[in-house]
Structure 1
């Protein structure tokens, strides 16, 4: 009877972690809503891997409890301990790399602007990697984010445009930085003045009105992208904290149930 109850308890715990891991994967897909999933894959991959691994081992534990296989349950318990430690380590790391960086408020503007140097070195290293950024840039160019941006604000005067609350990618990638001093024609069409050649901001020289160029080569675009990733990671960190608490409770109950089983039934 004790063995049956223990198996039922272990099955329930495995089922809980199975659904928690599924929820984590759904959150990762939801947190990439601002741009296409593949645009942020280099930074979303760790949480996706954790979710998939938990899903697989939870399924193994569930099968072990249903089929009364102590070996699978033992593997599940060991895995749970490793996963709790890994989740704690990742959460600390994520908090550290997302602690720095925020948009800069501009006088008379409804939107913020972003500087790459304000973010953690790890995040900067990832987007400054040519291979990584080329993939992200290609994805951003192919996405409708700047074409929708142009369509949404095309009839706005400069005064009205300046009042808009743009998201970080719209601000960093779809328009030139404010300190370039360009003349506004439309949200994605700006005329450079002669003084631009003397501007210390390198983004001013790489801006182009072409829809496939715009400010996708700008540091402000990289910063805007990192801000969107940082925001989505904050949501994941909150969920991860809840997940860790649940995993600890599940692990403690699972260990108790596992130890109550008759040891003579184990190899």
Structure 2
């Protein structure tokens, strides 16, 4: 067996081993959690795990036993995966090139505006169906639960380094001029028309500013940061896949050559 076949077999064995815990994680999510967030996650996790398992199995068997048609399927799927990964990485950088927090005088936290982000992302969170799922996730995660204990005074809250979700979803915009009671309870001002989010604020623990555009902007800021990290990781994965694909091409060539000589052998 050629070196390329060994390398392809080893690479696919490693990814095959990786697929098993991925599938297990998806099954664990489906059995242990029943929230909207977990139901949303479990399907893609299981699907990704099964996809990795099938592709890796084809590559492993094809390279170790020199089955050229399996290697052909493996290389075809790998090529599609490389192209999709490249397209997604470019897209991720394109839609996350806008957006940032706005510093406020005398405040430790920043505030976020929906219009600062890409139109594509903005449309996603403005969609009622999408946003209802996100709100359910925010409620399940209890993103605002600990703020009252962490920042018991107005001075402590003003100096707080709030996350984008905490800044956008757990308090009214500063422009509203609401009077502080505690971190998640505010008294409505006499003229709250400085921002449309002022009318969306509610002191109920399961509502707060979850219907505010500032909350949508906070979610997008999290997405923007996460997608940037994912895009960088994708570049590393892309290089790995290109190397694996190149080695796989050599293994495929070896398998085809062996089949050719095997078929010619009786006529020698």
Band the TM-score falls in, shorter-chain normalisation: 0.7 to 0.9
**1:228–1:176 Cα change, 3 Å:** same
Structure 1 unpaired stretches of 5+: 26-35
**1:80–1:206 Cα change, 3 Å:** same
Runs (4+) of structure 1 exceeding 6 A deviation are 19-25, 44-51
Give 2:168's aligned residue: 172
Give 1:108's aligned residue: 106
Query: What's the offset of the Cα at 1:150?
Result: 2.6
Q: How many residues align?
A: 251
Query: What's the offset of the Cα at 1:50?
Result: 6.2
CA contact (8 A) 1:20 1:243 kept: no
**1:258–1:37 Cα change, 3 Å:** farther
Q: Distance in 1 between matches of 2:21 and 2:246?
A: 21
Q: Distance in 2 between matches of 1:41 and 1:112?
A: 30
Q: Distance in 1 between matches of 2:120 and 2:16?
A: 31
Q: Once structures 1 and 2 are overlaid, which stretch shifts more, 184-193 or 14-23?
A: 14-23
Q: Distance in 2 between matches of 1:37 and 1:142?
A: 9
Asked whether 1:260 is paired with 2:254, we answer yes
SS at match of 1:184: strand
Q: Distance in 2 between matches of 1:70 and 1:204?
A: 65
TM-score calculated relative to the size of structure 1: 0.83
Q: Distance in 2 between matches of 1:9 and 1:68?
A: 13
TM-score calculated relative to the size of structure 2: 0.82
CA contact (8 A) 2:63 2:251 kept: no
Structure 2 unpaired stretches of 5+: 24-34, 264-268
RMSD between aligned residues = 3.1
Q: Once structures 1 and 2 are overlaid, which stretch shifts more, 14-23 or 79-88?
A: 14-23
Larger Rg: 2
Query: What's the offset of the Cα at 1:81?
Result: 1.2
Q: Distance in 2 between matches of 1:188 and 1:140?
A: 15
Query: What's the offset of the Cα at 1:176?
Result: 0.5
CA contact (8 A) 1:11 1:65 kept: yes
Q: Distance in 2 between matches of 1:48 and 1:118?
A: 35
**1:99–1:14 Cα change, 3 Å:** same
SS at match of 1:74: helix
SS at match of 1:244: helix
Give 2:227's aligned residue: 233
